[in-house]
């Protein structure tokens, strides 16, 4: 699992540098990320397979996104409205559940 976490962290860092148009050449990016150049190429291909609109800009000498995009991976907590909460708890809201469990 640690390897997956490392790969996600690497992809997040690459995403940040690509959005900033500051990756540099592949060799520079590899050095910046402390990985091999081959790893950079594999990660770019993986990102492309995940539909990231990436290309290399020869003028900027950086990878760039051709469309506005951002990589997000993780769990994000959001508040639920009353209807959604009731649907998830089988028709009972949390306050109703407390009353049912009190018996």
- So where are the chain's domains? 2-65, 73-103
How far, in Å, are 32, 42, 53, 58, 95 from residue 49 at the CA level? 23, 10, 10, 22, 45
Question: CA 44 to CA 35: how far, in whole Å?
Answer: 13
**5 in helix, strand or coil?**
helix
- The backbone region for 82, taken as left when phi is positive above 0, alpha when psi lies in -120 to 50, beta otherwise, is alpha
More confident residue, 48 or 92: 48
11 confidence band (pLDDT: 50, 70, 90): very high
Bridge partners for 63 per DSSP: 56
Q: Which class would CATH give 2-65? A: mainly alpha
Question: Is the pTM for the entire model greater than 0.75?
Answer: no
Does residue 33 surpass a pLDDT of 60?
yes
């Amino acid at each position: 699992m640690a390897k997956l976490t490392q790969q996600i962290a690497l992809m997040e860092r690459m995403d940040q540098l690509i959005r900033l148009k500051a990756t540099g050449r592949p060799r520079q990016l590899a050095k910046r990320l402390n990985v091999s150049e081959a790893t950079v190429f594999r990660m770019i291909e993986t990102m492309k397979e995940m539909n990231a609109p990436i290309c290399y800009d020869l003028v900027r000498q950086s990878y760039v996104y051709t469309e506005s995009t951002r990589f997000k991976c993780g769990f994000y907590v959001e508040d639920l409205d009353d209807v959604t909460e009731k649907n998830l708890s089988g028709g009972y809201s949390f306050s109703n559940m407390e009353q049912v469990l009190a018996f």
